[in-house]
C-alpha cells in the first residue's frame, strides 16, 4: 500500500493521485489556494476514496456557512458508501466517523476521532491540523496545545515539521506562553517558508505583548509566508492593521481596510469578522468609518438564519447594529432564543455566552451602555467557548470596557482592564493606556 506525506497508508493505488493528495495536504497546511483543486483531482481520479470525501465534508463544515451543511452531508453519504465499496484503512474510517460526528452536532466527537488517528499515526500532520482547526472553532486552547505537543516528537525531521511548529506556536500564544510561541513560530518559519499560520502566531504574540513595531516588521519582511494564501491573507493584513492601530496610525488602518482587508467583498464569516471588528475598533477610537458598514450589513442580513457559529453571529451583529438594521437584529435575536433552547454543543454556546453577548452588543449599538456593560460582562467568562483567538475576541472585550466607561462604572471597568493587562503578560497597549487614563481623569472630576 502507498503512503502519503504524513507517513500513513492511503487507499490510493496511483502514485499520481498520492502526489495530488500530498499537494492537498501541503496546501491545507499552508492555507494555500490550491487545496480544493488538489482534492478535486484526487476525488475525480479515485471516486471511492472515502477519506477524500470526508475531507471535503470536514472542510465544508469549517467554512461555517449554512448552505455548505448540505454539501458536507452529501460528502458524508458518499464517504460511507465508498467505505462500503472499498473498505479503507482505520485512519480513513475514523475520518468518515469524524465527519459523521460533526454532522450530528458533535464537533467534539470529530476531534476525538482525529485524536484516535493520531494515537496510531503521530506523524499524521493532516489529522493534527484538523484537530487543531476544530478545537480553534470550539475555543479549546488548552486541548489544542496538548494535541499538538503529543505529536511534536514524531515530527522531528518530518517533511511537514515546520507547520507543526507553526501550530504549536499558535497554541502557546493562546495559552499565554508568549516567549515560547515566538521561538516556535520563528523556528517553524525557517523550516516551512510558506507557513502563514506560524508567522501569524508570532504576529499574535507581538499584538498581545504590545510590540507593534516587531509585528509590522515581521509581516512586511515575510510576505512569501502569507501572500500565497487563500482569504487567510486578509486575516494577516488584518493583524497588520491591528498593529498600526496600536501605534495610533488610524489613517493607515483605514487604507489597509479599503485596499487589502476588504478588497474582496466576500461574505465568508472570517472576512466579515476581520472587517466588522476592525471598523468597530476604529469607531471606539473615535475614527469615522463613513458608509463602510453598509455592505457588511447587507451580507450579515442574509446570514441571520445561518446558526453555524456564535462567533460568526456576533460579528454579523456588529454590522447590523452599526448600520441600524433593526429587522435583521430582531431576526437574529429570535433565532438565538430558539437555538438556545436546543440541546447540543453549539446550542449550548448560543445559550451561554451567546445570548448575553448578543443582547449586550445590541444595547451598545443603541447607546444603552449600562445594559451593554451588564450583558457583555456577564457573557465574558464564557466567551472563550465561541472560538476564535484572543485577538479576535478582543473587540468584544474593548466594547465591554468602553460600555463600562461610558456608563460610569469605573471600578468594575478598571477590574476588567487589569485582567486584560494580566492576560497580556502585563503589557499595556494603547487601548489599555488610554482607558486607564480615562478612568483616572473621570475620578479626578468631582461629581456634579
Ligand atoms: Fe489571527
pLDDT digits (tens, 9 = 90+) for 207-216: 999 999 999 9
Question: Per residue in 218-270, pLDDT tens?
Answer: 999 999 999 889 999 999 999 999 999 999 999 999 999 999 999 999 999 99
Q: Where are the alpha helices (DSSP H) in 47-89?
A: 50-62, 66-86
Check whether residue 129 and residue 276 sit in a common domain. Answer: no
Structural domain includes residue 272: yes
Instruction: State the angle between helix axes of 326-340 and 292-301 in degrees (0 to 180), rounded to the nearest 10.
Output: 40
Residues 6+ apart with CB under 8 A from 313: 303, 304, 306, 307, 332, 336, 354, 358
Q: d(Cα 283, Cα 289) in Å, to the nearest integer?
A: 7
Helices 430-444 & 410-423 angle (0-180, nearest 10): 160
Please tell me the distance between residue 25's alpha carbon and the centre of ligand 1 in angstroms: 21
Task: Please check the confidence at residue 448 and state whether its pLDDT lies above 80.
Answer: no
Do the domain assignments include residue 71?
yes
- Determine, yes or no, domain membership for 335: yes
Range of the domain at 377: 265-448
* Separation CA 40–CA 417 (nearest Å): 48
The domain that holds 69 is classified in CATH as: 1.25.40
Domain end residue (candidates: 108, 137, 166): 137
* Domain assignment present for 40: yes
The rounded Å distance from CA 241 to ligand 1 centre is 12
In angstroms, what is the span from residue 87 Cα to ligand 1's centroid?
39
Overall number of domains in the chain: 2
pLDDT tens string 3-59:
999 999 999 999 999 999 999 999 999 999 999 999 999 999 999 999 999 999 999
Please list, in sequence order, all residues whose beta carbon lies within 8 angstroms of the beta carbon of residue 309, skipping any fewer than 6 positions away.
Answer: 64, 137, 269, 346, 386, 387
Instruction: Say whether pLDDT at 63 is over 60.
Output: yes
Half-sphere exposure of residue 384, counting CA atoms within 13 Å on the CB side? Answer: 8
Determine the distance separating the centroid of ligand 1 and the alpha carbon of 91, expressed in angstroms.
Answer: 30
271 belongs to a structural domain: yes
Last residue within a domain, chosen from 137, 157, 177 = 137
CA of 274 to the centre of ligand 1 (A): 9
- Which band of pLDDT confidence, cut at 50, 70 and 90, is reported for residue 183? very high
Q: Ligand 1 mean position to 401 CA, how many Å? A: 22
Q: Ligand 1: distance of its center to the CA of 201 in Å?
A: 7
Residue 207: inside a domain = no
Q: How many residues would you count in the chain?
A: 448
Which of 114, 79, 80, 92 lies closest to 3, judged by CA?
92
389 C-alpha to center of ligand 1: Å? 6
Please report whether residue 190 resides in a domain.
no
Q: How far apart are CA 177 and CA 171, in angstroms?
A: 9
Q: Would residue 193 count as lying in a domain? A: no
- Measure 250 CA to ligand 1 centroid, in angstroms: 20
d(CA 236, CA 202): 11
Q: State the Cα–Cα distance between residues 152 and 7, nearest whole angstrom.
A: 15
Query: 268 C-alpha to center of ligand 1: Å?
Result: 15
Question: Could you tell me if 390 and 374 are in contact, meaning their C-beta atoms sit under 8 angstroms apart?
Answer: no
Strand extents, DSSP E, 180-263: none
Q: 227, 315, 223: which is closest to 278 by C-alpha? A: 315
For residue 392, the CA-to-ligand 1 centroid distance in Å is: 7
In terms of domains, do 279 and 131 share one?
Answer: no
Distance, C-alpha 345 to centroid of its chain = 18
> Which of 78, 112, 137 finishes a domain?
137
Amino acid at each position: 500500500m502507498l503512503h502519503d506525506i504524513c507517513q500513513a497508508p492511503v487507499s490510493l493505488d496511483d502514485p499520481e493521485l498520492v502526489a495530488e493528495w500530498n499537494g492537498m495536504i501541503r496546501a491545507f497546511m499552508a492555507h494555500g489556494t490550491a487545496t480544493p483543486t488538489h482534492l478535486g483531482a484526487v476525488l475525480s481520479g479515485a471516486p471511492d476514496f472515502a477519506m477524500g470525501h470526508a475531507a471535503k465534508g470536514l472542510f465544508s463544515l469549517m467554512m461555517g456557512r449554512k448552505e455548505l451543511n448540505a454539501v458536507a452531508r452529501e460528502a458524508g453519504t458518499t464517504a460511507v458508501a465508498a467505505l462500503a465499496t472499498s473498505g479503507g484503512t482505520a485512519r480513513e474510517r475514523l475520518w468518515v466517523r469524524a465527519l459523521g460526528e460533526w454532522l450530528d452536532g458533535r464537533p467534539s466527537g470529530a476531534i476525538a476521532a482525529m485524536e484516535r488517528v493520531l494515537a496510531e499515526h503521530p506523524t499524521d500532520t493532516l489529522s493534527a491540523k484538523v484537530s487543531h482547526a476544530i478545537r480553534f472553532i470550539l475555543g479549546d486552547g488548552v486541548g489544542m496545545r496538548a494535541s499538538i505537543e503529543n505529536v511534536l516528537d514524531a515530527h522531528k525531521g518530518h517533511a511537514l515539521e515546520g507547520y507543526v511548529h507553526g501550530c504549536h506556536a499558535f497554541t502557546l500564544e493562546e495559552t499565554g506562553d508568549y516567549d515560547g510561541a515566538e521561538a516556535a513560530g520563528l523556528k517553524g518559519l525557517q523550516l516551512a517558508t510558506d507557513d502563514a499560520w506560524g508567522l501569524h502566531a508570532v504576529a499574535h504574540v507581538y499584538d498581545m505583548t504590545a510590540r507593534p513595531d516587531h509585528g509590522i516588521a515581521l509581516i512586511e519582511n515575510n510576505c512569501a509566508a502569507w501572500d500565497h494564501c487563500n482569504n487567510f491573507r486578509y486575516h494577516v493584513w488584518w493583524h497588520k492593521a491591528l498593529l498600526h492601530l496600536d501605534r495610533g496610525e488610524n489613517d493607515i488602518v483605514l487604507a489597509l481596510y479599503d485596499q487589502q482587508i476588504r478588497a474582496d467583498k466576500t461574505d465568508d464569516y472570517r472576512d466579515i469578522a476581520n472587517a466588522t471588528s476592525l471598523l468597530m475598533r476604529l469607531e471606539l477610537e473615535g475614527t469615522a468609518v463613513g458608509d463602510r458598514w453598509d455592505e457588511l450589513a447587507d451580507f450579515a442580513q442574509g446570514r441571520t438564519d445561518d446558526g453555524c457559529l456564535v462567533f460568526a453571529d456576533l460579528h454579523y451583529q456588529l454590522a447590523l447594529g452599526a448600520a441600524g438594521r433593526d429587522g435583521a437584529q430582531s431576526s437574529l435575536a429570535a433565532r438565538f432564543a430558539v437555538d438556545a433552547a436546543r440541546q447540543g454543543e453549539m446550542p449550548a454556546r448560543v445559550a451561554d455566552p451567546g445570548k448575553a453577548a448578543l443582547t449586550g452588543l445590541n444595547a451598545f449599538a443603541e447607546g444603552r451602555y449600562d445594559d451593554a456593560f451588564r450583558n457583555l460582562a456577564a457573557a465574558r467568562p464564557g466567551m472563550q467557548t465561541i472560538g476564535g483567538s484572543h485577538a479576535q475576541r478582543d473587540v468584544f472585550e474593548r466594547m465591554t470596557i468602553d460600555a463600562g466607561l461610558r456608563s460610569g462604572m469605573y471600578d468594575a471597568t478598571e477590574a476588567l482592564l487589569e485582567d486584560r493587562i494580566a492576560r497580556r503578560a502585563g503589557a499595556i497597549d494603547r487601548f489599555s493606556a488610554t482607558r486607564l487614563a480615562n478612568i483616572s481623569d473621570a475620578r479626578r472630576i468631582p461629581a456634579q
